[in-house]
Amino acid sequence: MPADVAIIMGSQSDWPTMRHAADILDELDVGYRALIVSAHRTPDRMYEFARSAKADGYKVVIAGAGGAAHLPGMVAALTPLPVLGVPVRSKALSGKDSLLSIVQMPAGIPVGTLAIGEAGAANAALMATAILALSDDALAARLDSWRAARTASVAEQPSDED
């Protein structure tokens, strides 16, 4: 299966969050590759990844980082591919620093910023899937089924069971 989506993250410590994106892509049968690419610790790796991402066949980049989270914006500056940013929850500021670092891009270089943490990672995967589904009818049908199953799983009345 071709890797249409790159899930990149600044650190191994981001993986427990970013794996929620990977889980959704697995459910939807979307090819991806997960890579540790740090703007601060491995800037050359980040540059090489971003510069070649399109030629390498990726169509969407999901970038998760925490704290002074430069990774999504730097990668967005270096590739024409859509970049979805996931603010990872930080120890010091609970991810508010990550969110503000990622979301406040100056006009001209967009990063599609999702929610802090696991919900953001999962939604980044769903948004990446929706982008890919624009030119893939089979994937669009899988995404429709996935969404319909989520809707069908919601009970009409609350239960006493946890």
Binding-site residues for substrate, in ranges, read 11, 14, 41
Region of 22-30, 60-68, 115-123, 126-134 interacting with ligand RP5 (CB under 6 A): 60-68
Please, what is the minimum distance in Å from the beta carbon of residue 162 to ligand RP5?
31
The CB-side HSE value for 14 (13 A sphere, CA atoms) comes to 30
Q: Determine, following the binding rule CB under 6 A, whether residue 118 of this chain makes contact with ligand RP5.
A: no
- For residue 65, give the H/E element and its range: strand 60-66
Q: Determine, following the binding rule CB under 6 A, whether residue 76 of this chain makes contact with ligand RP5.
A: no
Please, what is the minimum distance in Å from the beta carbon of residue 50 to ligand RP5?
16
Q: Determine, following the binding rule CB under 6 A, whether residue 66 of this chain makes contact with ligand RP5.
A: yes
- For residue 62, give the H/E element and its range: strand 60-66
Please, what is the minimum distance in Å from the beta carbon of residue 66 to ligand RP5?
3
22, 32, 49, 67: which one contacts ligand RP5 (CB under 6 A)?
Answer: 67
Burial 133-151 (b: 16+ CB within 10 A, else e): beebeebeebbeeeeeeee
